[in-house]
Structure 1
Amino acid sequence: MPRWLTTFLVLLILFAFVLPDPARAGNATGNAIDSMVVFFRSAGNELSDSVALSDGSGDLSGEASRGSASTRSPNGGVASGDGTYRTAPVDLAAVQAAVAAPPAPSDDGPVDIGGEASLRHSPPVQLHLPTIGVSTGFVSLGLGPDGTLQVPDTAHQAGWYRDAPAPGARGTAVVTAHVDWQQEKGVFHDLGLMRPGDEVTVDRADGAAAVFRVTRIAEYAKSQFPTEEVYGAADDAELRLITCSGPFDHATHSYADNLVVYARMMGVRHG
C-alpha cells in the first residue's frame, strides 16, 4: 500500500476516535498537523518520482528508437581507384543512352519471390554480375574519420557498407569496389558496361540469393555527388553498386567521377 494512503487512513482514525474526546484534543491536533505534513510530503515525493521515471523512460525509449531506425549515410561518393591500372574512362554518352534503353528480357524463367517484397537481415557472401563476368566475395566496410565510405584493401573483392541494410532487406544496400588498385584490374573495372535489365545476384549467409535487376546507371562528378539520392531510404529492397569513373587526376590521385548502378530486387532463389 502506498505511504500516502496509509497516512490518510491514520488521519481518518484520529479524527473519528481521538478528536471527540476533549481531554486528548490538544495532543491529537498536534499529531494530526504533523501527520498532514507527512502526508503531503509523501504524496509530493511519490508524484515527483513518478514524473521523473516517466520522463526518463520516455527519453530512453526515444533514443533507442532513433538509434535503431537511423543509419549513418556516407559523406559523398566513393573514392575507389588509384589509377595504377590502364583503364578507359566510362563513356558518359553511352551511359546516358543506357538509361533510356528498355530493360533486357530475362532468360532465367520465373523467380520465386515467396510472396515477400524483402528479406530479413543477413550478411552478403557472394556477388554475381554475369554481364561483366564478375563473381566475388565481400568485405565489410564502415565509415572513415571524414565520414566517407571505406574502400576494400584489395582489388579482388567488393565491399558492403555494414551500417546500411543487407542486400535483399528493405532499404538501400550499398556495395562498392575498385575500378583499379595497386596495378591490378578492380572488381568493378567494367561496371560501366552494365545496362538496365541486367541481373545482379547476391548470395546471402542465410542461404537465399537476392536477385536484382538494374534500373538505371548514372555518372556523377564527385564534387556534386547526390548523397541522398544514392544512399537514401527506400520502401523496397534496392541495391547500389558504386565505383570510380571519368578521367584520373594525377594531382589528387583520384578519379573525377563516380559511377552508380541502381538496381531493385525482383525475386529470391533458394538453394
Structure 2
Amino acid sequence: MIDGMPYRQVGEMRPGGLVCVADHASNHVPEAIQLGIDRSLLDDHIAVDIGVEGLADRLARRHEIPAHIATVSRLVCDFHRREDEPAVVPTQSDGHLIPGNIGADVENRLQQYHRPYHDALAAFLTAARPRLIVSLHSFTPSLATSDEPRPWEVALLYNHDDRAARHAIRLFAQQGLMVGDNQPYSGKQLNATMDRHAEAHGIPYCTVEIRQDQIASEAGQARWAVMIADVMGRVALEV
C-alpha cells in the first residue's frame, strides 16, 4: 500500500483517451491482517492476478494509458465484488480455506479498503472522461477444483454492454489468438467494477482476461502491452 491507500495511480491523465483499471494486481496483505494461510499461496491466483501489475504499469508508462491499480490482495478485500457479496471478504477460494477471514469485520474491511478504492476510481474516471476503460485481469490455465480445460489465451467479458468487447474479440482473433467470449467465466455473473463505473454511466469498456502463462514474465507483459494498446486504441475509434 502507498500512503495507506489500497490503490496507486500511474501515468499522465489525458482526458478523452483510454484508461486502465486493475482490481486484482497485488498480493499485499497488511500486517494487521492474519489470513491464516501458507505464505506460498500469496503467489497463487487466489491472491493475485499474476502478471497484471506489470502489464498495467507498462501500459501506463510506455503506452500512455494511465492506470488505477489495486495495492491490496483480493484475499483481504475483493474490489471486483459488490459490498453486499459474501465473497467481498472471501473465506475460501479454489478449494483453499481462508481461516483468518472467517468472522472477519467485513464493515471495517469495506471502510479501509473497498470504499477508498472505488471512491478514488470514480474520481479518476471523472477527471479522465475516458473514451474507453480497459479492465485488466488474468486467469489461471487450470483450477484446482475443476478439470475443465481453459484453452483461451485471452478473453473478453461483458454484462449488458458488449459494444467494445465485440470489436476486441474480432481484433484479437485476427492476431491468431484463441479468444474467449465471456469465458472462462461470464461477465453477466461477475462484472462488479465495470457495472458500477462503466455500464452505469454509459462508458464503453473492455474487460480483458489474459491467461496467466502469457504474462507471467516481463517479456510476456511487454508483448501483451503492445497488443492491448494497439487493439484497444482501434476499439476506441469504433465505439
| TM-score bin (small chain) | under 0.3
Write 1 or 2 for the structure with the bigger share of helix. Answer: 2
What TM-score do the two structures reach when normalised by structure 1?
0.23
Greater strand share, structure number = 1
